[in-house]
Amino acid sequence: MSFSGGMDSTSVLLRLIDEGYKIDCLSFNYGQKHIIEIEKASENITYLKEKGYDITHKIVDLSSAMSIFRSSLTDNEMIVPEGYYEENQMKSTVVPNRNAIFSSIIYGYALSIVASEDVNVKIALGVHSGDHAIYPDCRPEFYQSLDDSFKLGNWDSERVDFYLPYIDGDKVTILNDAVKSCINIDVNFDIIFSNTITSYNPDSEGRSSGKSGSDIERILAFHELGRRDPIEYIDSWENVLQNAIRVEKQFKDEEYRERLSDIQYDVTRKSATEHPFTGIYWDEKRDGEYFCICCGHKLFTSEMKFDSGCGWPSFFTEDENANIEQVEDRSHGMHRVELRCSICDAHLGHIFNDGPVSKGGQRYCINSASMDFKEE
Ligand SMILES: [Zn+2]
């Protein structure tokens, strides 16, 4: 497996131990500014060996070959960008063809193991589709194509396969998997993850800035799991977390502004209310499902809809997995209960207790502008 010392490959390693594989880890020195990740990787190997897990660790030096590449991760004249990880400027952190180069070397090593030990070998990588937009070399079709090419050009290649357990996941899926593996193999999650580094621009003591795109993604993943990241940041956890949330909010807000119509943006992000009998769904009677216009989270189905005569789409209950948040609202001189999307915090409408009694008596009064209807 490719073992960078970051959280994705560390999670893969834990999973492979849990699944009972005999493991060879390759870490690559490619002249990265965050070379400290290799030290961290070695510390985790030492810890896991102490726990009784026998792992081979090899450090491969590609720094000379890759010193001729241009990337903000390796070039001292380029600055590692800060901000949200999906922003376009993060493209400067791409190292050209890196994953293909690493995969080629690992493939050669895998074939060498096949030859010397007469076993089948899997090449495990922690790549995930959450990286798609900016890192095209994390796409599943890229690995399929690499595998096809390698198979064409090598003897015994039928004995080597790629294993990409996180290819369809994101950072949260990965961390969740690591939590599970740590329990199964009886190792301490916080010790393991204190020996990982995700930052592209750590300081001279190896502390993460908390501000590079990869930091932000990591911090938000720990936060979503309700955990505190055990690594040391330059600033306190509270401050780096607050900054990450702010950076994400700002990025999403810009994205919503571009993608949504004026009324959709004003309703969902500024808590405005559309005029009654003006929205596109107040009189909608087709069978189908209603989703949050901002994040696509499922909110209601047409079976929950009823004609309240109020001029807004009305529902007597919500989808069982919607988890719509209810927030006390004392604006406009009224005392109401506001409804917000549990995933993206979009304002949806209000809830009243004048709904059909036979259905529980509630009326979810929702703005059409906050929803996307899909006919069944
Ligand atoms: Zn939403």
- Write out the DSSP string of 243-305: HHHHHHHHHHHHHHHHHS-HHHHHHHHH---PPTT-SSSTT--SSEEEEETTT--EEEEGGGE
User: Order of strands across the sheet with 371-375?
Assistant: 298-301, 288-292, 371-375
CA–centroid distance, 219 to ligand 1, in Å, is 21
CA–centroid distance, 339 to ligand 1, in Å, is 11
Spell out the residues 6+ positions from residue 35 whose beta carbon is closer than 8 angstroms to its own.
29
CA–centroid distance, 324 to ligand 1, in Å, is 9
Spell out the residues 6+ positions from residue 294 whose beta carbon is closer than 8 angstroms to its own.
256, 260, 268, 269, 341, 344, 346, 370
Q: Quickly tell me which residue has 């993460």 as its tokens.
A: 208
Both 234 and 293 in one domain: the answer is no
pLDDT in tens, 124-154: 999 987 655 677 888 889 999 999 999 999 9
CA–centroid distance, 370 to ligand 1, in Å, is 9
Question: Taking the chain, what is the end-to-end CA distance rounded to the nearest angstrom?
Answer: 44
Query: What does the pLDDT read at residue 263?
Result: 97
CA–centroid distance, 340 to ligand 1, in Å, is 8
Give the chain's largest Cα–Cα span. Answer: 79
- Copy the structure tokens of residue 307: 């004609």
Both 244 and 291 in one domain: the answer is no
**Domain encompassing residue 337:** 273-375
Q: How far apart are CA 290 and CA 160, in angstroms?
A: 45
CATH label of the domain that carries residue 284: 2.170.150.20
Both 153 and 20 in one domain: the answer is yes
Neighbours of ion ligand 1 (CB under 5 A): 292, 294-295, 297, 341, 343-344, 346
CA–centroid distance, 88 to ligand 1, in Å, is 23
Query: What does the pLDDT read at residue 134?
Result: 72
CA–centroid distance, 371 to ligand 1, in Å, is 9
Both 148 and 291 in one domain: the answer is no
**Predicted structure pTM score:** 0.81
CA–centroid distance, 346 to ligand 1, in Å, is 5
Domain-ending residue, one of 188, 220, 254? 254
Exposed / middle / buried, residue 225 (Cβ in 10 Å: 0-12, 13-18, 19+): middle
Distances (CA, A) of 283 to 306, 308, 349, 354: 9, 10, 17, 19
CA–centroid distance, 252 to ligand 1, in Å, is 12
Query: What does the pLDDT read at residue 285?
Result: 96
262 belongs to a structural domain: no
The b-or-e profile of 190-222 (16+ CB within 10 A means b, else e) is: eebbbbbbbbbbbeeebbbbbbbbbbbbbbbbb
CA–centroid distance, 294 to ligand 1, in Å, is 5
Both 233 and 299 in one domain: the answer is no
Both 86 and 162 in one domain: the answer is yes
Query: What does the pLDDT read at residue 65?
Result: 92
305 belongs to a structural domain: yes
Both 97 and 170 in one domain: the answer is yes
188 belongs to a structural domain: yes
CA–centroid distance, 246 to ligand 1, in Å, is 17
Domain-ending residue, one of 254, 287, 321? 254
261 belongs to a structural domain: no
How many residues would you count in the chain?
376
2 belongs to a structural domain: no
Query: What does the pLDDT read at residue 246?
Result: 95
CA–centroid distance, 72 to ligand 1, in Å, is 34
CA–centroid distance, 75 to ligand 1, in Å, is 39
Question: Which residue in 95, 92, 80 sits closest to 138, CA to CA?
Answer: 95
CA–centroid distance, 223 to ligand 1, in Å, is 18
Query: What does the pLDDT read at residue 72?
Result: 85
CA–centroid distance, 343 to ligand 1, in Å, is 5
CA–centroid distance, 323 to ligand 1, in Å, is 11
266 belongs to a structural domain: no
- Copy the structure tokens of residue 85: 């990880």
CA–centroid distance, 240 to ligand 1, in Å, is 25
Both 70 and 162 in one domain: the answer is yes
Degrees to nearest 5, angle at CA 202 with 197 and 208: 60
CA–centroid distance, 90 to ligand 1, in Å, is 25
Distances (CA, A) of 51 to 47, 55, 176, 193, 288: 6, 11, 21, 15, 53
79 belongs to a structural domain: yes
Spell out the residues 6+ positions from residue 162 whose beta carbon is closer than 8 angstroms to its own.
122, 123, 124, 125, 143, 146, 147
Both 278 and 240 in one domain: the answer is no
Which residues in the chain come in under a pLDDT of 50?
none
Domain count, the chain: 2
CA–centroid distance, 302 to ligand 1, in Å, is 18
CA–centroid distance, 253 to ligand 1, in Å, is 13
Question: Which residue in 230, 203, 235, 200 sits closest to 217, CA to CA?
Answer: 200
Exposed / middle / buried, residue 18 (Cβ in 10 Å: 0-12, 13-18, 19+): middle
